[in-house]
Amino acid sequence: MIFKSINHSRTSDAVVEQMERLILEGVLRSGDRLPPERELAMQLEVSRPVLRDALKDLEDRKLLKSRHRGGTYVAEVVGMVFADQIFDLVRRHPKAQSDYFEFRRDMEGIIAEHAAIKATDADRLILGRIMEAMRQHHRDQDLQGESAADLEFHQAIVDASHNIMLLHTMRSCYKLLSEGLFFSRIRFFEWPGVRDLLMDQHEQLYHAIMERQPKEARKAAEDHIAYVEQTLAHTQQAGSWEEISRMRLQRLSDQGGFSPPEARDKMPDAKTGSLAEEPPPDLAAHSPSQGAGSAAPNQTSLEPAREAPSGAFNGVRR
């Protein structure tokens, strides 16, 4: 039970103060439903008229919202540092992606350092439960579950830093991530070797926080975000190469550059330039979102079409 009885002053102002703190600290999150009026009044040990006055005050200030016969909910205020107009601008301008990762790299390092120092026993228990769930999703190769646990893990570290400004700022950043503003996290996980490396990095970060090693936690967090940024850039570049190659192949095919037709899917011999007898793997099979020979302009693909060169990830701690 997160609501505490009000002993010192059973007034609507005291109820408002407790609700405000729960929202500000991120204990109550956007969309959370409050208990029914009778039950909430009993938990707070105030009269129902006092509770109604407090809830009306919070609704008037747009911290809570009521639905007809549907209860009272926390409004979309937690982690709303950026206005919707800013979200739209970020979505439309590519430079925001590099700035986003630069900001996250710096902030995640500070947050991990704070969490290693400030995490309570309850914080550590929450992190442990999330980490075990992430491990299970990883073993089961459940990309959706692992991706969700990944995000929850980072949010729990922010909570453990016990800094209100960091909490709301980073939840806004995570909202960009959860909505796929910069890239598809699921398709990113499908890139060869990425899931295992991310899991190793999460383990390293987790143990540094649990063992109360601030410097190690900070470095682990910074290295983790740097790896994500570097790997994403590589996968996007590789996807762009694949897209351009398919368009060139389609152009030659449209111009009758391959004859006979059955030779269109054959690759030229590297030495002679003549068409090889064995066809290459189906290009469409590597693109989960597009058919063969079609590519939307200005859209990159994160399909696991090729292994990233080992040199692309140098400098990242495992």
Tell me, rounded to whole angstroms, the distance of Cα 131 from its chain centroid: 15
Catalogue the long-range contacts made by 54-62 (C-beta closer than 8 Å, 24 or more residues apart): 54/12, 54/13, 54/15, 54/16, 54/19, 55/15, 57/12, 57/16, 58/16, 58/19, 58/20
CA–CA distance, 106 with 104 (Å, rounded to integer): 5
Q: What's the pLDDT at 308?
A: 44
Residue 268 pairs with which residues in a beta bridge?
275
CA–CA distance, 260 with 249 (Å, rounded to integer): 15
Average pLDDT for runs of 10 along the chain of length 318: 79 92 88 93 93 95 87 80 72 78 94 98 97 97 92 96 92 77 71 91 98 98 93 69 63 63 48 46 40 40 42 41
Q: What's the pLDDT at 237?
A: 63
Q: What's the pLDDT at 219?
A: 98
Q: What's the pLDDT at 204?
A: 98
The kind and range of the H/E element at 229 are: helix 214-254
CA–CA distance, 293 with 287 (Å, rounded to integer): 10
Q: What's the pLDDT at 68?
A: 78
Which residue reads 């301008």 in tokens?
A: 93
CA–CA distance, 295 with 196 (Å, rounded to integer): 30
Q: What's the pLDDT at 290?
A: 43
Q: What's the pLDDT at 260?
A: 47
- Residue among 146, 233, 139 nearest 185 (CA): 146
- C-alpha distances out from residue 245 to 250, 274, 275, 288, 292, Å: 9, 19, 17, 17, 12
Q: What's the pLDDT at 315?
A: 42
DSSP-derived secondary structure letter, 190: T
CA–CA distance, 194 with 9 (Å, rounded to integer): 55
- Residue among 219, 253, 248 nearest 112 (CA): 219
